Amino acid sequence: MTAYYECRAPEYDDWYLGRGLFRERKRPGWHEELAAVVLMVGSLGPARTLDVACGTGFITRHLPGDVVGLDRSEAMLEAASSRVPGARVRADGLSLPFRDDSFDRLFTGHFYGHLRGREREPFLRETRRVASELVVLDAAWRDDVAPEELQARVLSDGSTHHVYKRYFTARRLTQEMGGGETLHEGRWFVVVRSRLLVQTGRRRVMTDGK
């Protein structure tokens, strides 16, 4: 997966902007919904935030507050650094190099949907360890896609990469998060927030986010 995103970094924003290989792809309402998601992300309260798998920083730059970007791909971090000064942490999202309670919020966009079953709990465990709030942006489930796929993705250089991908309803995503609230649910994107309650002994319990 890291090798794929290392190669994809120079053209990653084409997916958001409808350029390059995505120029002819029919995605009705895509740009309007993306604008709504960007506006929603920007409306989150200012917080010390860790963006796991920040990519090129396309969404990261809209997060309010003190933001640190983390990614396994050096090429992605290089692209993000021009947008987010703090986007320079190269690490694995399943083993975060931070102390407990280092952040108020952990944000991740289009990362959770790539995690296979054995990887999801380690990610959620690390989230609970370092932050008191989790916001997940991912791909919404639609009639024209399966909830779970192994996709063959072709880059501009002609190379093909096989990528595991899941799509979500807000209900399914909140269930996996252990409870939460829906911030956005549309044809293309879903955003869910879960909060954590710190109790004595540093034991954390997921709340419903309300």
pTM for the model stands at 0.92
18, 30, 151 from 156: Cα distances, Å: 14, 22, 16
pLDDT at 108: 98
Q: Between residues 206 and 141, which one has the greater pLDDT?
A: 141
Residue 196 pLDDT level (bands cut at 50, 70, 90): confident
pLDDT at 207: 45
pLDDT at 88: 84
pLDDT at 149: 96
Domains of the chain with CATH codes: 2-206 (3.40.50.150)
Q: Between residues 10 and 199, which one has the greater pLDDT?
A: 10
Q: 104-143 pLDDT, tens per residue?
A: 999 999 999 999 999 999 999 999 999 999 999 999 999 9
